């Protein structure tokens, strides 16, 4: 049986990087397990990354507005899970702007702790984590400019809308 040709890791990584936004942190994507250690992207990760980047593009006008109109814009990523969206938005928007806060709101303690470690390793000093169900979440800033909720299911969509309305986001 003939062996299948496999491209060298560097070539695979180059193809993978073409799927990323310019300036996207490869180290962050590896920490989130979207990229493997050698820079490869499996089918599940490719789908997840494309979904997150698509949503980031959809909310980019709201983020641009917040950056233009607020000295320190605040984003709340509700039901954040592993905080993929919050991390990508911080990396691509807030880190480059040099200001603003990203809050990841998640009820599961283990995901909050993992996300805190990734944020610390990535140097994301203006990323915060709130361990709470969406309906009970309180931000220390008591305000929010942009709200997002990736994969909000069950009552999470309604709770995210109520949160956004309560914060005039």
Q: Which residues contact 60 (CB under 8 A, 6 or more apart)?
A: 93
Q: What are phi and psi of 148, to 5 degrees?
A: -140, 155
* For residue 60, pLDDT beyond 60: yes
Percent of the chain with pLDDT over 70: 84
Most confident region among 10-14, 34-38, 132-136, 154-158 by mean pLDDT = 132-136
Stretch 33-43: mean pLDDT, rounded? 74
* For residue 11, pLDDT beyond 90: no
Fold of 51-166: Rossmann fold (3.40.50)
pLDDT digits (tens, 9 = 90+) for 152-162: 677 888 999 99
Task: Bin 138: left if φ > 0, else alpha if -120 < ψ < 50, else beta.
Answer: beta
* For residue 16, pLDDT beyond 60: no
* For residue 30, pLDDT beyond 90: no
What integer pLDDT is reported at residue 82 of this predicted model? 85
What integer pLDDT is reported at residue 45 of this predicted model? 75
What integer pLDDT is reported at residue 32 of this predicted model? 76
**CA 111/CA 68 separation, integer angstroms:** 32
* For residue 103, pLDDT beyond 80: yes
For residues 17 and 160, the model is more confident at 160
Largest CA distance in the chain: 64
């Amino acid at each position: 049986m003939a062996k299948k040709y496999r491209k060298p890791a560097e070539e695979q990584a180059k193809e993978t990087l073409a799927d990323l936004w310019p300036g996207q942190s490869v180290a962050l994507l590896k920490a989130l397990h979207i990229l493997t250690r050698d820079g490869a992207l499996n089918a599940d990760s490719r789908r997840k990354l494309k979904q997150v980047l698509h949503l980031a593009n959809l909310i980019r006008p709201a983020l641009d507005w917040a950056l233009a109109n607020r000295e320190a814009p605040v984003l709340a990523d509700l039901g954040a899970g592993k905080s993929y969206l919050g991390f990508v938005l911080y990396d691509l928007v807030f880190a480059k702007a040099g200001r603003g806060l990203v809050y990841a709101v998640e009820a599961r303690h283990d995901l909050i702790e993992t996300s805190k470690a990734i944020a610390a390793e990535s140097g994301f000093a203006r990323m915060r984590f709130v361990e709470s169900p969406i309906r009970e979440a309180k931000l220390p800033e008591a305000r929010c400019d942009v709200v997002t909720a990736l994969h909000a299911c069950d009552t999470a969509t309604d709770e995210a809308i109520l949160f956004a309305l309560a914060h005039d986001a």
